[in-house]
Amino acid sequence: MGLINTANEFLKMLNEFACSEGYNSYADANKICEHLGMSDKEQVRHVVKLLENRGLVRAIWTCEGISVNLSEEGVIFIESGYELSSVTQQDPTVTMHIDQSTNIHGNIKHSNLSLHSGDIKQSLSDNRPYIQVLDEMQKVIENDKSLSDEEKADYVTDVENLGRELSKNSPKRANVHTYITSLGGLASLGSLIIQLIQFLPSLS
């Protein structure tokens, strides 16, 4: 199991722990990794460091071991159905159907977003809301100290491509989902992605 896949499984198990023990409780990182069949302490450190750098977990490092719990961004990330991705792992992990009633259905394991409001009217002619969210995404990416300049450039490009796709008369759902999935790999964008989804009309 590669580092990215292990980190994804680690995050799922940590979420299960948080659901049963409380989100303020800390779990033993070594015990979680033992359940995943990983005993190498150095690999455990790499997994926790990866998740910590993404802002998904808080970690307390001691001589005895590593205690971890989910951050607020980690909760949003895992409950929104996203998974970490790498350059060599680009499989879509989020499948959504967005309809005019603003019901959002996806492969969300612990919750299902269902947003209703009779006062909201969504159309491509009103692009200001999603443009503001995309602008905010770029700012978050540029200020994310956990990213290298190259990674920042890649994420900004995804945001720009997403904006161009949404500005078309007939945006392609597959393209929109591809960009959203890619951006979903960055924990700091979790809440903004959820905001963006609320502004999207039905895509064909």
**How do residues 115-168 score in pLDDT, each as one tens digit?**
333 343 343 344 457 888 898 999 999 999 998 988 888 899 889 888 888 888
What is residue 113's predicted lDDT score, i.e. its pLDDT? 36
Q: Which residue has the higher pLDDT, 123 or 76?
A: 76
What is residue 55's predicted lDDT score, i.e. its pLDDT? 84
Locate tokens 């009103």: which residue? Answer: 126
Q: How confident is the model at residue 92 (pLDDT cuts 50, 70, 90)?
A: very low
Q: Which residue has the higher pLDDT, 77 or 35?
A: 35
Put simply, whether the predicted model's pTM sits higher than 0.75 gets the answer no
Structure tokens at 121: 């009217």
- Complete domains list, the chain, with CATH: 3-76 (1.10.10.10), 87-199 (no CATH)
- Cα 144 versus chain centre, distance: 15
Rounded CA gap, 21 and 23, in Å?
Answer: 7
Structure tokens at 27: 């779990």
Rounded CA gap, 104 and 1, in Å?
Answer: 32
Q: How confident is the model at residue 13 (pLDDT cuts 50, 70, 90)?
A: very high
Average pLDDT over residues 45-72: 87
What is residue 90's predicted lDDT score, i.e. its pLDDT? 35
- Cα 39 versus chain centre, distance: 27
Whether 107 has a pLDDT exceeding 60, the answer reads no
Q: Which residue has the higher pLDDT, 95 or 157?
A: 157
As a whole number of Å, the end-to-end CA separation of the chain is 36
What is residue 1's predicted lDDT score, i.e. its pLDDT? 59
In this structure, are residues 84 and 7 in contact, taking their beta carbons and an 8 Å threshold? yes
Q: How confident is the model at residue 22 (pLDDT cuts 50, 70, 90)?
A: confident
Q: Which residue has the higher pLDDT, 49 or 86?
A: 49
What is residue 25's predicted lDDT score, i.e. its pLDDT? 86
Whether 97 has a pLDDT exceeding 80, the answer reads no
In this structure, are residues 2 and 38 in contact, taking their beta carbons and an 8 Å threshold? no
What is the rounded average pLDDT for all residues in the chain? 75
Rounded CA gap, 203 and 97, in Å?
Answer: 9
Rounded CA gap, 201 and 204, in Å?
Answer: 10
In this structure, are residues 55 and 188 in contact, taking their beta carbons and an 8 Å threshold? yes
Structure tokens at 150: 């190259």
Pairing of strands 27-28, 66-70: antiparallel
Average pLDDT over residues 171-188: 83
